[in-house]
Amino acid sequence: MTASDEFVISRVFNAPRDVVFRAWVEPEQLQQWFGPKGVKIFYSKGEVKPGAMYHYGMRTPDGTEMWGKWVYREIVPPERLVFVNSFSDKDGGLGRHPLSPTWPAEMLSTITFDDESGKTRVTVRWSPINATEAERKTFADSMEGMKDGWTGTFERFDAYLAEKG
């Protein structure tokens, strides 16, 4: 894997690491903040253990429904989550990106949580797995959009943590 095969974004949040970690693994919390700005999570269910799945449904402002899932590979509270992220159908089967047929079907996601004097640095690493050349190219060409999407998600997360106190 080369550096261009991996998307990385990081941000420091003003909350303790255990609070931030729980917000990433508890479906009822994920439902409150996860996703790009304007997207509403209307379904959020899952179990946090290797091999288990977190399954979610989201609705865009124009009413489009999309489904996604995470299949956990590694959980190290409160330090790291590793999972395969993909679009899905409403039953949790593997799906494709509804707007981009050459988006990678599966992404390896590694989320790390580092304590920084009582605050928490969250680093998201994404890379396509089992991807075709066309899917890898789509991924590489989408870095700026991923940055915008994750920046919006992090802004929502920051607001959620501040509101939660």
pLDDT, tens digit (0-9, with 9 covering 90-100), for 128-162: 999 999 999 999 999 999 999 999 999 999 999 99
pTM over 0.85: yes
Say if residues 155 and 36 touch (Cβ distance below 8 Å).
no
Q: Any idea of the CA torsion for 45, 160, 84, 105, to the nearest 10 degrees?
A: 90
Looking at the DSSP bridge assignments, the partners of residue 115 are 120
Mean pLDDT of the chain: 95
Looking at the DSSP bridge assignments, the partners of residue 109 are 83, 126
1 pLDDT tier (thresholds 50, 70, 90): very low
pLDDT at 2 over 80: no
pLDDT digits (tens, 9 = 90+) for 19-39: 999 999 999 999 999 998 899
Nearest to 70 by CA among 86, 81, 59: 86
Average pLDDT over residues 81-99: 95
pLDDT digits (tens, 9 = 90+) for 47-56: 999 999 999 9
Domain count, the chain: 1
Find the domain containing 74 and state its range: 3-164
